[in-house]
Structure 1
Amino acid sequence: MSIAVSVVVPAYNASRTIEGCVQSLLRLSAQSPPHEIIVVDNGSDDSTAEIVRNYPRITLMEERAVRGPSAARNAGARAATGDILAFTDADCVVTPDWLVLGVVPLADLGVCGVAGLIKGVEPKNEIQEWMNSRNILDARAALANAFRPYVQTANAFFRRTDFWKVNGFDVSLLCGEDCDLSWRIIEATGGRLALVTDALVYHDHRSSVRGLFRQSSKNARAAAYLAEKWGGVLPAKHWKTSVWEVLDLTRCGAHYAGVSITVKPRSERINAKLDFLHRLGRKHGMIASAWRTGQYSRW
């Protein structure tokens, strides 16, 4: 009997990107396993829901009671009927063989989750070009995490039974919910995570300086929230690492200042600025979440 898949896409004010996402899901290869596509509108006040309603093959749900992608994904997973849950995001475009390839490792009962690669879409400006060059959402780096590997929810596959064995995503976590879910599933099943490099999705990276800074800050906040939840299990951050990060930020800022006041190619000036803003955003996120959670060593 064939394995069925439920694709779950959380969406909040995604009118700019949701149509491209939905259309790519409807263009999945004919060799794909039987599947349903569930888009969960998380209380949008734009035209996200109206756009999705134009596609009868898509199941549109609403999750307004609890905000956040974790709550939306859990709502989609509750409605899912497939044996496997496949997650991507409203600002992603999947490749035709995404499902065909992504589910293959789960035939091995020793595998409890699968990650596919996440690349940037064709860049619309220099900021997206920089984000593509820095491989901001690197699945290989996530799977090489020093504590435990994890998969990023822009491109992730889990068995539905394993997902609910750990009660799905923790909606109380403001950041790092993908790490937390992966780690809990690994603990509960004793399984391992697999990478399928050809199960590709393309992510529409932030295209403004403000968006880049906020994304960098948000990604860096996860460490303190995870340390708060995982207590003494998560290895402590060494003070030398924090000092190195400050020195690296200072060095990067000095390089940006030097490039700005000398005659350098525009591309070099742009890259220096964005490198600095990325590091500044990350340090901002670390400090903000350390202060909020009381995990002061995580700054």
Structure 2
Amino acid sequence: MTVVVLTYNRSHELRRTLMQLSALPEQPPIIVVNNGSSDTTARLVSRDFPEVKLISLAKNWGAAGRNVGVDLVKTPYVAFCDDDTWWTPRSLEIAVDILDYHPEIAVLNARILVGEDKKLDPSCSTMEESPLGFWKDVGPLLTGFMAGANVMRTSAYIQADGYWDAFFIGGEESLIAMDILNCGGKIVYAPELVVRHLPSKQRDNKLRQRLIARNAIWTCWLRLPWRLAWSRSKEILGQISDRQLRRRALFDALLGFNKIVSERRVLNRDTCELLRRVWQKE
């Protein structure tokens, strides 16, 4: 098991995360992808964590920076976290045991505890109520996962071509999750695995909301049959209460239409049905 950490201009948060990861009893190899940071990130890692493999990119590639980290992974499994998240002791050991025993599982999403008071992330509550049933002794079956709190088969990541660089950030997991499902892999919520999350204050929430909406629409048109893509796109836009944000998200999505058409690959019927079942419960 190797851990890949994605970071951008958050050296203070990264220090805390690397201290936690370096203290894990499993002692996994750690790869830090420095996404074009202009702060002290590179110096911090080189000086204080010499055992960590540091990859410094010339610019910020967003979520696709993880692809560079995975290119250097030599283990069959890879765990992901961000600079404001970290894995708790024994979680990675349990993940290895689960993946060894269940070759059908491609991705395990951890239980995420947020803040100093360790509140359950609302996304985990949604995962617990998945309409897709329960995978044996592990947890509920899913159609997606959280980018900074999952363990994946390295082969599944590579087969799905990793994260699409055009997304940058915001809901980037949806496309790779669809492709993993389409290849027959299972995505499972495994509450035995625990990730801590202390959300960074360095966030541009308005930009992130725009990108999430744009990327969700792009994902529809990249993979869904035309009719389903159209209906799902309308649902996504309808969920945005801010009229200006809704217009901007639509405009952003239309700007990439030619690229979307050129990259379009429609999912099989079974994968589309799984997605429909989850969306109907929203």
Question: TM-score normalised by the shorter chain: which range applies?
Answer: 0.7 to 0.9
Aligned partners of 1:238, 1:85: CA distance in 2, in Å? 32
The within-5 A match list for 1:207-286 is: 207=201, 211-232=204-225, 235=229, 236-237=231-232, 245=239, 249=241, 280=242, 285-286=245-246
Q: After the TM superposition, list the runs of 4 or more consecutive aligned residues in structure 1 that deviate by more than 6 angstroms.
A: none
Measured after TM superposition, the shift of residue 166 of structure 1 is 2.1
Tell me the TM-score normalised to structure 1 length: 0.70
Q: Where does residue 175 of structure 2 map in the other structure?
A: 180
Partner deviation per Cα, 1:50-108 (whole Å, 9 max, x = no partner): 1111112211112225x323332111100111110111101113211221223333121
Letter in 1 for 2:22: L
Does the CA-based 8 Å contact 1:176-1:225 persist in structure 2? no
SS of equivalent to 2:82: coil
Of the three residues 17, 34, 41, the one matched with 1:41 is: 34
Aligned to 2:165: 171
Say which one has the larger Rg: 1
Summarize the alignment of residues 21-32 of structure 1 with structure 2, pairs less than 5 Å apart: 21-29=17-25, 32=26
Which whole-Å CA distance do the structure 1 matches of 2:250 and 2:24 have between them?
Answer: 42
Q: Secondary structure at the match of 1:119?
A: strand
| Number of residues of Structure 1 aligned to a counterpart in Structure 2 | 241
Contact 2:110/2:149 (<8 A) preserved = yes
* 1:198-255 CA distance string (max 9 Å, x none): 31112222548x7454444444443212123224265523857866x47xx5xxxxxx
Instruction: Decide which moves more: 10-19 or 231-240.
Output: 231-240
Q: What residue in structure 1 maps to residue 105 of structure 2?
A: 111
Of 7, 14, 20, the residue aligned with 2:10 is 14
Q: Tell me if structure 2 keeps the 8 A contact 1:102–1:115.
A: no
Give the CA deviation at 1:164.
1.1
TM-score (norm 2): 0.74
Instruction: Structure 1 unaligned segments of length 5 or more: list them.
Output: 124-128, 250-279
**Considering only aligned residues, what root-mean-square deviation do their CA atoms show, in Å?**
3.1
The match for 1:63 is 57
Closer/same/farther in 2, CA of residues 145 and 226 from structure 1, 3 Å limit:
farther
Where in structure 2 are there 5+ consecutive unaligned residues? 133-141, 258-282
Q: For 1:292, which of 252, 256, 266 is the aligned residue?
A: 252
**What is the aligned-residue identity percentage?**
21
